[in-house]
Amino acid sequence: MTPSIEIAFDCLPLRSVGRMDIPLDASPGYRARCERIKHALATHGSHNTYFLYNATCLFHLTNDPEVGALEFRFEGTVLTDTADQKAAHADLEVELSRETCDWLTEPVVKWFKETVSQAARVEFDRYIAAGDLQQTIQRIEALQAESDQHGGFLGMYL
């Protein structure tokens, strides 16, 4: 049986972004994505933040794959809790990309756009759980130890 929601995304941990310059020969699409990543960094910072892109969310509203499907594209930032193990907030741009619902109205589309954010957070938690949680825990412990060594400071003005 087909799941009622199918979510797929690529994920870029913003802490992994080392350079902010965009290649001069970058395609317009890549340049635009780089600008959106720079905006996400400026808005949310790099600590416990992840940029989701190439993302889709498909809702099946009936048991017929040809009727009652809503597909959304989305992109944006997911912020995790202090332990970096659970999604705390999603700041996503969501747009309806395809639908097979003759009965669809604008208020329903708006509600589903908000639902995409909730569904993405749940799926992101599954993504974290499927990854190497132990590595995340070790990274957090190392940051805490470094902070403790420096009297609670990791860098200038922190």
pLDDT at position 129:
87
pLDDT at position 93:
97
Q: What mean pLDDT do residues 6-32 have?
A: 89
Q: pLDDT for 52-78, tens place per residue?
A: 999 999 999 998 878 999 999 999 999
Computed over every residue of the chain, the mean pLDDT equals: 87
pLDDT at position 137:
61
Q: What is the spatial distance between Cα 90 and Cα 80, in angstroms, rounded to a whole number? A: 9
Residue 91's DSSP bridge partners are: 77
Using 50, 70 and 90 to split pLDDT, how confident is the model at 157?
very low
Q: What is the spatial distance between Cα 119 and Cα 107, in angstroms, rounded to a whole number? A: 18
Residue 153 has pLDDT above 60, yes or no: no
List Cα–Cα distances, 138 to 27, 129, 132, 145, in angstroms: 38, 15, 10, 10
Size (the chain), residues: 158
Task: For 10-73, give the secondary structure using H, E and C.
Answer: EEEEHHHCCCCCCCCCCCHHHHHHHHHHHHHHHHHCCCCEEEEEEEEEEEECCCCCCCCEEEEE
Residue 151 has pLDDT above 80, yes or no: no
| Burial category of 61 from C-beta neighbours within 10 Å (exposed 0-12, middle 13-18, buried 19 and up) | middle
Residue 156 has pLDDT above 60, yes or no: no
Do the Cβ atoms of 2 and 60 come closer than 8 Å?
Answer: yes
pTM: 0.79
Q: pLDDT for 77-87, tens place per residue?
A: 999 999 888 99
Residue 148 has pLDDT above 80, yes or no: no
Q: Output DSSP code: residue 16.
A: G
pLDDT at position 33:
92
Measured at the alpha carbon of residue 94, what is the angle toward residues 106 and 22, in degrees to the nearest 5? 150
Q: Which two tokens stand for residue 107?
A: 């208020």
Report domain extents, the chain: 5-149
pLDDT at position 158:
46
